[in-house]
């Protein structure tokens, strides 16, 4: 059973209005996002694929992966993509003490700022909770600290190894609209479905006149 529907219902979005679920209709613009990197080879493949379509995206990075692969993080930044915080240890907020969750998020932010142009990077403070699971108190504290909590409109389920490649692609094609925030993962687990679906998503929407921008 899927943890979330592929397309987040509008009632859920209305229940949590301080989270960002989508962007306003904006002249055929889509927002690709990639969670769980940076990952050797896979993130670089993703960057090369985006470049072929002149597409920009947003990468929500795990702090410990940034610590291991800072050179890949710099490639993401140097190619004009946005970078967000995905906690240091990919924590499930529902199962994590609030103080620990905030500390772990701040640790990831410090790690990112250390590797990037901290002044430019820190002004955005984009944050996506791993698994999409965050307690209300955790969210309130992060919002107070200036973070933007970025959720999504459409999730590809690319990490699900039981999902056929064609179904991963259809998850995106069937539910995406102007202004959608779309979730993929630049991770080992998602590699098969990502490498099948992403080029086809980029081709499909480029041919329909859409552009892809970073948050």
User: Hey, which residues are catalytic here?
Assistant: 35, 185
Give the C-alpha separation, 179 to 29, whole Å: 6
Query: What single string gives the DSSP state of each residue in 89-154?
Result: S---GGGS-HHHHHHHHHHHHHHHHHHS-HHHHHTT-EE--GGG---HHHHHHHHHTT-EEB--SE
Buried b (16+ CB within 10 A) or exposed e, 22-56: bbeeeeebbbbbbbbbbbeebbbebbebbeebebb
CA separation for the pair 180, 152 (Å, rounded): 7
């Amino acid at each position: 059973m899927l943890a979330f529907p592929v397309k987040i219902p509008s009632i859920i979005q209305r229940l949590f209005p301080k989270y960002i679920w989508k962007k306003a209709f904006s002249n055929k613009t889509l927002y690709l996002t990639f969670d769980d990197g940076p990952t050797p080879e896979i993130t670089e493949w993703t960057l090369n694929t985006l470049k072929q379509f002149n597409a920009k995206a947003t990468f929500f990075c795990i702090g410990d992966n940034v610590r291991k692969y800072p050179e890949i993080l710099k490639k993401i930044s140097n190619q004009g993509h946005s970078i967000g915080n995905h906690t240091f240890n990919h924590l499930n907020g529902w199962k994590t003490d609030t103080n620990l969750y905030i500390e772990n998020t701040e640790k990831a932010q410090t790690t990112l700022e250390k590797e990037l142009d901290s002044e430019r990077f820190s002004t955005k403070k984009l944050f996506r909770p791993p698994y999409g699971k965050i307690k209300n108190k955790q969210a309130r504290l992060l919002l107070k600290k200036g973070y933007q909590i970025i959720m999504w409109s459409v999730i590809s389920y690319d990490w699900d190894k039981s999902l056929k490649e064609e179904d991963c692609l259809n998850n995106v094609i069937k539910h995406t609209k102007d202004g959608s925030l779309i979730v993929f993962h630049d991770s080992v687990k998602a590699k098969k479905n990502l490498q099948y679906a992403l080029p086809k998503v980029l081709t499909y929407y480029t041919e329909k006149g859409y552009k892809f921008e970073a948050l």
